[in-house]
Chain A
Amino acid sequence: MSNKKHFKLTVNGEEQEFLAEPRELLIHTLRERLRQTGPHIGCETSHCGACTVTMNGKSVKACTVFVAQADGADITTIEGLGNPDSLHVLQEAFKEHHGLQCGFCTPGMITRASKLLEENPTPTEEEVRFGMAGNICRCTGYQNIVKSILAAASEMNAAKEAAE
């Protein structure tokens, strides 16, 4: 198609430049163009949160953002949160507390939780449940997800205190 435009994104710290149709959805840009397949597509209507990424410091559902809206943005996906040698505290906590089953919602869930704990480092259980209500899980019933996030918060706070 001839209506391709030039776009620039920073994804997980790396600058990316490419030509794309402006109507391309950010989730497809990330998954198919840039091969960051951690964020998933579950509903295409912003309800399930499987596609959650962090864009310019905010949790965003990448299935309902056009790449044109994301031009110039700084984006973090699950792939940018930790690496095999040094997992994010939340990645460890989800493993430890059985916070996942099929794993399909997990990247979006952890990405959202990482933002939630930045917004509110000491959430109550109720605040976690409310703050995660944009992310649907069909397997776990959320009990262990909530447990994982609260455990990660405690650990991050303990580490912060130890450092101070």
Chain B
Amino acid sequence: MNKELTREERTDALGGMGCKRKRVEDARFTQGKGNYVDDIKLPGMLQGDFVRSPYAHARIKSIDSSAAMALDGVIAVLTAEDLAPLGLHWMPTLAGDKQMVLADGKVLFQGQEVAFVVAKDRYIAADAVELVEVDYEELPVLTDPFAAMESDVVLREDLLGEGGSLPDGAHGPRKHPNHIFTWEVGEKDATEQVLDEADVVAEETVYYHRTHPCPLETCGCVASMDKVNGKLTLHGTFQAPHAIRTVVSLISGIEEHNIRVISPDIGGGFGNKVGAYPGYVCSVVASIVTGVPVKWVEDRMENLMTTAFARDYHMTGKISATKEGKITGLHCHVTADHGGFDACADPTKFPAGFMNICTGSYDIPTAYLAVDGVYTNKAPGGVSYRCSFRVTEAAYFIERMVEVLAIELNMDAAELRRINFIKKEQFPYQSALGWEYDSGDYHTAWDKALKAVDYDGLRAEQAQRVEDFKAGKTRKLMGVGLTHFTEIVGAGPVKNCDILGLGMFDSCEIRIHPTGSAIARLGTISQGQGHATTFAQILATEIGLPADSITIEEGDTDTAPYGLGTYGSRSTPVAGAATAMAGRKIRAKAQMIAAYLLEVHDDDVEFDVDRFVVKGAPEKFKTMKEIAFAAYNQAIPGIEPGLEAVSYYDPPNMTYPFGAYVCVMDIDVDTGVTDIRRFYALDDCGTRINPMIIEGQVHGGLTEALAVALGQEIAYDDMGNVKTGTLMDFFLPTAWEVPNYETDHTVTPSPHHPIGAKGVGESPHVGGVPCFSNAVNDAFRAFGLRHTNMPHDHWRIWKTANDLGLHG
């Protein structure tokens, strides 16, 4: 006889929400059996490779590909001239601009795609690239956006109107030929008045340098045109496979049902794989022309130099407060360097993303934000590197401004934050820059964090260290970095969020099999987040079948329901909600079936973990497994056979995860070397689906934050040469540089999300960057430093110490 399990045992057996379920993805990855795009090898497949510009700004006088074509094994060399008859020499960007697929008469950044070589293998393709002769005429280079706005060098002649006039851009009027847009939010006059009348105003210019998401796997695709059936299959590193399908259809004219986009396993994305790149277009064209599959995979230099930079925001802020430290107003102006084409990945109505979350965690009654986008001779991109649209920039800005204000007020920065936090009872909170924060309990999180690190003890130790330093007893300073961030993720409500007109809902479709297992398909795509594990947990709890009996499938547009993909921490807030809602539809039908089988009215049964029981008589029940079988195999009057559901979820609001971080850092004044002694991260992502995976996300996001704050940068010289184009120069931390992190949490569920979850993948990056940077800045506060820019590599820290006269 089977012993009847307790309710608790039945719950545990499901492996549902809240448990540390081991990942189902890991079996294949640990055995080297992942299937990434470069692992795909199709019969007859050719290899594509780009001829790229060595110049940042030049006219192309001629391209001679005859020597390349003469090489054995070279099939084609495509140039803009070949693509022009198809209208594919330019393509639309996600930001309403257009971008050259292959250089059309000129180049605008170093590494720009000039010609596409198609050859029998990658070695022949590489040889052929060297043989293509391009005659360039160099043009003046603009790498500084402020200089670009003053210059009479026009980068984009294609955007000039008749007689050199300036037609409006995708986001309104333009002030200069190198200007892209001005985006304003909030009340300008009111904010200026508040600043004029304030007791105290702190001003600072904060540059958030250009960097790159640099996933370990670069971008690539395999395009395969089946000329017999007229079907195009496109495998690729796509964070948004459905959006890619629609875009490919719109620009190629191939009907959408004849395009199948497949994202196989993706080796990290972090925003790099959201956009559409020239390599995809050229591969598709090459496959159509040759009738065989064409693969293109960028190398690391191409990745760092051309696809998807992040940040590059010059932010000037003014923050005002009363003498007691109550913040009264915030003014922010951003000069945003977008490179040669505006290819930022932001929802259409938000040309600077959600930068207007820059009032942060604070109750700031009056605020104004203006962003000017500018063209320069740098690579296009502006993607959200492990953050929702421009949210890292916003969080960094406000968390630096609060620190500067604390210096101005001669106040403790933790206390200044505490007296300005939005209070728990103020939620839902309407921010001065237009957002409705759904929920939060900042004071509880803050107090828990400060207590966990013994904040007062740290400050006492730091004061002693300063004394010792002044007395010549030590050459190491100590910084205490603080951050309380609020994110805005889960884009988003279709009423105000779309990309290229595609509404930002997401979806889940579930099929229950007769024997009580299931498959669920989603519009998202995992790049390491563990969706196959966590979405099955949501479903296990919702439908009462074990997570181990539920397959999760993503990334094949022929089978998955339409969705906008995975970035901006939107998978759990949007597709996770769709999953729960689809699960509830399954449950609603199961309830009717159970009632019929138990011979009671629908309202007389209730769901209990893995079954429906008769109310008041729990010994009378039907398990979900039994119900699944009956759904397919028993004729039930009035109910059609089968047990399936689909949900398209349009979120009513964004979600607003938050967190409180503390970093304790020692800095060697003579070498600039930093030592992270301690890093404490408290995250509140609402309902927690899998604590093991959350912790892993936090470790990873903090490490990417460490990289950005302490050294990682895409730097250019005055000629527009990329100075950090390989991993020799572009900082990716190793196990040796990275500390152990302490993780903690509070739980404030989202009131509008079906399971209360808010998303967590990007929080540690958003909160981590200002926290590391604040620690560096804080170490020098006692010596008069207000602000120094990232990245805080050893040289820059040494320079800061030197400028402050600390080297004697």
Contact = CB atoms under 8 A, between A and B. Distances in A.
A19 interface: no
Contacts of B734: 132-136, 142
A24 interface: yes
A42 B217 contact: yes
B299 to A, nearest CB: 6
Contact of B732 (A37, A48, A77): A48
B29 A103 contact: yes
A110 B27 CA distance: 13
Contacts of B215: 102, 104, 138
B173 interface: no
B122 A28 contact: yes
B98 interface: no
A130 B695 CA distance: 23
Nearest to A41: B38
A58 interface: no
Contacts, number: 174
A106 B30 contact: yes
B196 interface: no
B528 A32 contact: no
B31 A103 contact: no
A6 interface: no
A113 B692 CA distance: 22
Nearest to B736: A133
A87 B216 CA distance: 25
B502 to A, nearest CB: 25
Contacts of A102: 215-217, 265-268, 527-528
A104 B732 contact: no
B267 A95 contact: no
B744 to A, nearest CB: 15
A23 to B, nearest CB: 7
Interface string A115-140: 00000000000001110111111111
Nearest to A144: B696
A117 to B, nearest CB: 15
Given A45-B726, A47-B728, A136-B216, A141 B692 contact: no
Interface string B722-742: 000011100010111010110
Interface string B629-649: 000000000000000000000
Contact of B530 (A101, A104, A107, A129): A101
A31 B28 CA distance: 17
B26 interface: yes
A13 interface: no
Contact of B30 (A1, A41, A91, A144): A91
Given A96-B22, A138-B270, A141-B738, A84 B31 contact: yes
Interface stretch (B345-353, B698-706, B775-783): B698-706
A29 B328 CA distance: 65
B41 A38 contact: no
A155 interface: no
Contact of B23 (A79, A91, A95, A138): A95
A17 B801 CA distance: 60
Nearest to B265: A103
A91 B38 contact: no
Q: Interface SS of chain A: helix, strand, loop or mixed?
A: loop
B31 A140 contact: no
Contacts of A40: 36, 38, 216-217, 267
Majority DSSP secondary structure for residues of B touching A: loop
Contacts of A50: 216
A11 interface: no
A134 to B, nearest CB: 8
Contact of B700 (A24, A43, A136, A140): A140
Given A28-B122, A79-B32, A136-B216, A44 B300 contact: yes
B454 interface: no
A62 interface: no
A102 B26 CA distance: 9
Given A101-B696, A138-B216, A139-B268, A39 B726 contact: no
B384 to A, nearest CB: 16
B448 to A, nearest CB: 21
B157 interface: no
A104 to B, nearest CB: 3
B214 interface: yes
B374 interface: no
B699 A32 contact: no
Contacts of B39: 31, 37
A129 B735 contact: yes
A104 B36 contact: yes
A145 to B, nearest CB: 7
A105 interface: yes
Given A103-B25, A133-B734, A141-B738, A110 B30 contact: yes
B35 to A, nearest CB: 8
A137 B26 contact: no
Interface in B735-765: 735-736, 738, 740-741
A81 B693 CA distance: 26
A105 B267 CA distance: 8
Contacts of B699: 140-144
A132 B32 CA distance: 18
Interface string B32-45: 11101011010000
Given A103-B528, A138-B704, A129 B736 contact: yes
A152 to B, nearest CB: 12
Interface in A58-104: 77-79, 82-84, 87, 91, 94-96, 98, 100-104
A2 B734 CA distance: 42
B158 interface: no
A146 interface: yes
Interface in A1-41: 1, 21, 23-24, 28, 31-32, 35-41
Contacts of A91: 30-31
Nearest to A134: B734
A128 B265 CA distance: 28
B36 A143 contact: no
B216 A32 contact: no
Given A45-B300, A132-B735, A136-B732, A143 B740 contact: yes
B795 interface: no
A19 B215 CA distance: 34
B72 interface: yes
Contact of A138 (B41, B300, B732, B740): B732
10 contacts: A44-B300, A102-B267, A103-B528, A105-B267, A106-B30, A133-B734, A135-B735, A136-B734, A143-B699, A143-B740
Closest A-B pairs by Cβ, 3 of them: A38-B32, A103-B29, A102-B528
Given A95-B22, A142-B703, 6 more contacts: A31-B39, A77-B32, A101-B268, A104-B267, A138-B270, A141-B738
